[in-house]
Amino acid sequence: MRILILGGDGYLGWPQAIYLSQKGYDVAVFDNLARRHFDLKHGIDSLLPIQSLQRRIERWAELTGKQITKYHGDATDYKALAHAFQEFEPDAVVHFAEQRAAPYSMIDREHAVYTQYNNVIGTLNVLYAIKEFAPSCHLVKLGTMGEYGTPNIDIEEGFIEIEHKGRRDVLPFPKQPGSFYHLSKVHDSHNIMFCCRIWGIRATDLNQGVVYGAETYETALDPELATRFDYDQIYGTALNRFCIQAATGYPLTVYGSGNQTRGYINIKDTVRCIELAIESQPASGEYRVFNQITEWFSINDLAAQVERVGTRMGLSVQREVVSNPRVESENHYYNVVHTRLLDLGLQPHLLDDAELESMIALTLKHRDRIDQRLILPTVNWRKAENEVAMVERIPTPA
């Protein structure tokens, strides 16, 4: 099968590309390198040094003899996207090419507009490219568990059966997105479902939880194949931030009550889930939703695990409560149905002490690349305008 990966230079896109290439798929990547430009503009960098996309592809070929095709382009540029579709003729498209951070979307009007334009228009272009150039192509779209919010009922996989005034129907599960980024994903889901219904497109919408981990089996083959490890307050996740803070002796910053609970998944499972979705192609016109998580934790749960493992490693780890910059429920019910990928054969890598020790050890190894000023939140949901200051990188002293 020929697989086109949109956003193939990203944290998930690159590991996905080499995972599928290793499995024998014919892979092409399409990316506009926007994430790298954001880092250059704001003085931010991945904890792990990462090579250029071109060098990554070359190194993969040197190690495995397998070729990956590269297209430079923006999904909002239909001409560039159409060229990739027409030339590569994909059997499946894996769509990662979106602005992926809630804090980014809440910086100010400009960043909110960019997020929604880039994500929604980009996905619309993908849908039209499939209709025009690859009508039998399977769209595998990365959504987010953040579309659902935190309702006071179990979160089903995409749809819910309801009874209203004596009548029953199966309807899309109610959406309660928590940022302009999450809203863009809701718009994507509606557009994809609509196009499946009217054009007969086949699509899998993967509502993914928070991804953790810095390595897959393929990226671990060589340092030049490494993917990102983000820890800054825009793109870094709570778990990454806690590992960085434990390694540098900085208190673990718990937002608010710390009871906010979310679904999580190991990056090794993410790349496998995509393969499982590709292998189990939906019927023409079918829109299906998988909840792509393996377990869930509160912020306090994560802090306790990092504190326990870090202390065992000889680190001095403490917690500090900070004002929550987000507008969200801090004490809520959370139970998620996530059986469909397990039914397809997913064997999860769960978050254990060994995984955490590996992540903390990685941060210790690259401690000289840590800039503590990038960790604390400056983007507040309640403000219409926030500043993300340009910074000069100053490594943390050893």
Catalytic site positions = 144, 181, 185
The residues with which 139 forms a beta bridge, in sequence order, are 93, 203
CA 299 to chain centroid: 18
Separation of alpha carbons 93 and 77, rounded Å: 17
Neighbours of 223 (CB within 10 A): 12
Separation of alpha carbons 205 and 195, rounded Å: 13
Which residue in the block uniquely carries the two structure tokens 């194949």? 225
CA distances from 257 to 75, 143, 150, 299 (A): 39, 27, 15, 9
The string of DSSP codes covering 43-59 is: T---SS----HHHHHHH
Q: Please, are residues 180 and 115 in contact by the beta-carbon 8 Å criterion? A: yes
Q: Please, are residues 123 and 191 in contact by the beta-carbon 8 Å criterion? A: yes
Separation of alpha carbons 75 and 129, rounded Å: 10
Question: Long-range contacts made by residues 84-89, C-beta under 8 angstroms, separation at least 24?
Answer: 84/4, 84/28, 84/30, 85/4, 85/129, 85/130, 85/132, 85/133, 85/134, 86/133, 88/2, 88/4, 88/28, 89/2, 89/133, 89/134
> Kindly report the CA angle at 11 between 8 and 14, in degrees rounded to 5?
35
Name the nearest CA neighbour of 20 among 66, 81, 59. Answer: 66
Neighbours of 376 (CB within 10 A): 13
Name the nearest CA neighbour of 205 among 214, 213, 196. Answer: 196
The torsion defined by the Cα of 302, 322, 380 and 372, in degrees rounded to 10, comes to -80
Residue 228 contacts by C-beta under 8 Å, 6 or more apart in sequence?
10, 11, 35, 46, 48, 50
Helix ranges restricted to H, 173-219: 180-199
CA 8 to chain centroid: 12
